[in-house]
Amino acid sequence: MLRAVSGCNRSSGPLISTDMIAPEQAEPRASTSFSGATSPAEKTDADADGDPSYEIVSPDQADGVEMWRLAVESQTLDANSRYAYVLWCRDFAGASVIARRNDGRAVGYVTGYLRPERPHTLFIWQVCVDPVARGAGLAGRMLDAVWDRTAQDAATDRMETTITPDNESSIRLFSSFARRHDTTIEREDLFGPDLLGDEHEPEHLYRIGPIAAEKVDNT
Ligand SMILES: CC(C)(COP(=O)(O)OP(=O)(O)OC[C@H]1O[C@@H](n2cnc3c(N)ncnc32)[C@H](O)[C@@H]1OP(=O)(O)O)[C@@H](O)C(=O)NCCC(=O)NCCS
């Protein structure tokens, strides 16, 4: 998941072992160019139509094809089959969201699931935002929406994802999530070339948490 296009920055040397880091430490140094995403300096309007007020909802099966389209158009993510996204929307809608503009067009999605052996851990598989909608906090809002739902429905207390070392926008997105939730990140090797082949960047596991439950004010 979260695969970045080739020819981008890569960390050198052997893969990292488990380390616990503050969100700031996970982030790349002020930088360089970002792969597959608009840089902040280039971020102008959040949406070509000028309306950043997106509806963020659980997907239904008909949304699978829209997710597939966004994944293909991103040219960054591993685009899976249409079938995979439709199936995802059937079985994992409770841990996924889709974002729509006023005119109904899908402009982003998050796919996730609760890990069968760690049901309080939300694993985020893919996050995708249409280039026209980037730079306005939509990915962060979608992550928060998925998180809030699973925290409420399944008492999740940790989030996991995998990120290739050159996907700096993704690292920043998840570091920002950890910061908002006042928690830390553990980072370790997960899938290397032995499993993914030489053409695929290694995937590092980011484990975020523990994340305290939101206090509900009933007064
Ligand atoms: C990565 C992606 C989902 C970000 O979507 P987005 O809606 O533009 O992200 P947000 O505006 O919510 O930004 C979230 C945080 O990441 C930072 N960020 C996101 N993209 C960035 C970029 N290209 N350069 C620098 N920072 C970036 C933002 O500044 C923000 O940090 P802050 O909360 O501290 O201000 C989007 O660029 C995308 O779909 N990329 C292609 C697919 C992909 O790589 N997905 C993996 C992402 S997990």
- Ligand 1 surroundings by CB, under 6 angstroms: 2, 34, 36-40, 74, 76-77, 127-129, 134-140, 167, 169-170, 172-173, 176
Instruction: Quote the percentage of the chain above a pLDDT of 70.
Output: 78
Alpha-carbon span 205 to 164, nearest angstrom = 9
**Mean pLDDT for the stretch of residues 177-196:** 97
Enter the pTM of the model.
Answer: 0.85
187-207 residue pLDDT tens: 999 999 999 999 999 999 999
**Mean pLDDT for the stretch of residues 34-38:** 32
pLDDT value at 12 more than 50: no
CATH match of 47-208 with 3.40.630.30: yes
Beta bridge partners of 121: 158
Looking at residue 20, what is its pLDDT? 78
**Mean pLDDT for the stretch of residues 160-184:** 97
Beta bridge partners of 98: 57, 109
pLDDT value at 88 more than 90: yes
End-to-end alpha-carbon separation of the chain, Å? 43
Mean of the per-residue pLDDT values of the chain: 84
> Which of 172, 185, 208 to mutate for ligand 1's pocket (most ligand atoms within 8 Å of CB)?
172
